[in-house]
Amino acid sequence: MKVKAEDLQGLKQLETFAGILYNSENFNNYVRAMQEINHRPRNYLLQLGTSNPFNPTFGKAVIFVSCNILSRGRGLPLVLPIDVEQLYLSMCRRWRFVCEVFSFNIAKSLKYCEIFDCEELEYLFCFSYTCSFCSSLQNLESVKLSVLSNLRFLWKETDTLLSDTLFRLRFVKISSCYSLKTLLTPEIVARLQSLEKLHVEYCDELKEIFSVEDKEQMGEELSGADQSLDNNSSDRTKLFLPKLVSLLLEQLPQLTNVCRGEMHCNSLQVFRIDVCPKLEELPRTVPWFQIDVTP
């Protein structure tokens, strides 16, 4: 049953609420009322659009399904509850990136983000200083992505990549993102020091999981320059993921490299590679780890 914001505003003792709001205007009105009158339910599941494909856990969650009218700066920007912890998107087919319609929101409590079947999504977050949403994403722990046919990269890298984002990210699962070619660049990997589990499957174009700097190329760039930089910079030819416990790579038909440099993963317990027929060589792990490979 769809409800209107005005039907809910008198319910100030509401402890738990789950409902589908009537339209985006109603959704925004209800969230604003939650904030202004300060009677947020302790737990809520606010949904816009029907046919929810997700299975959210009990808590503070919002779900947007088929919100196409809000794309590309047109229509109403969406207001998020200030304490939202879980964000779900599905079939928002014209959105190019998530914060496109959330950029003025603060998302300090956001821990979980799941996106399914958003056709034009090119990347997730802009990580610009001018984006309040990205600037406040310090507590994001889990990202689950599936069937994003146009996704080119996970995070847009800018010269001014925000310094305190992604440091708490622990779980990443990526399925059926057919346009991804390289998953994680050195700048992003340097932030993933809390990453515990990475699972990637059915990404048809994916060639490389972790890119690292090319040592020879870096040497040329540094020759004649301040050689004191060399020690620090050479670390970028290695990969450090100290908390990584599980790495699963499955059904990646174009994968040629997991990582060209050394992978320093002291916590690794599971490393499985299934059906990646073009893989040229297994990555070098430090310490050495027996990789479970199925051709």
Residues that bind Zn ion (CB under 5 A): 99, 125-126, 131, 134
CB of 164 to Zn ion, least distance (A): 14
Buried b (16+ CB within 10 A) or exposed e, 190-229: bbbebbbbbbbbbbeebbbbbbbbeeeebeeeeeeeeeee
Q: Output 112 or 125, the one with its CB closest to Zn ion.
A: 125
Q: Look at residues 253, 154, 150 and name the one whose alpha carbon lies nearest to residue 207.
A: 253
CB of 115 to Zn ion, least distance (A): 15
Q: Output 80 or 273, the one with its CB closest to Zn ion.
A: 80
DSSP 125: B
Q: Output 101 or 241, the one with its CB closest to Zn ion.
A: 101
Q: Output 28 or 136, the one with its CB closest to Zn ion.
A: 136
Report d(CA 293, CA 19) in Å as an integer: 45
Residue 167 near residue 138 (C-beta atoms within 8 A) = yes
Residue 45 near residue 21 (C-beta atoms within 8 A) = no
Residue 33 near residue 49 (C-beta atoms within 8 A) = no
Phi, psi values for residue 187, rounded to 5°: -65, -40
Q: Output 99 or 206, the one with its CB closest to Zn ion.
A: 99
CB of 169 to Zn ion, least distance (A): 16
CB of 209 to Zn ion, least distance (A): 24
First vs last Cα of the chain: how many Å apart?
49
CB of 95 to Zn ion, least distance (A): 12
Number of Cβ atoms within 10 Å of the Cβ of 189: 21
Q: Output 94 or 156, the one with its CB closest to Zn ion.
A: 156
Q: Look at residues 86, 98, 104 and name the one whose alpha carbon lies nearest to residue 47.
A: 86
Who contacts 208 (Cβ-Cβ below 8 Å, separation ≥6)? Answer: 181, 182, 183, 255, 256, 257, 258, 259, 260
Q: Output 20 or 131, the one with its CB closest to Zn ion.
A: 131
CB of 78 to Zn ion, least distance (A): 13
CB of 132 to Zn ion, least distance (A): 8
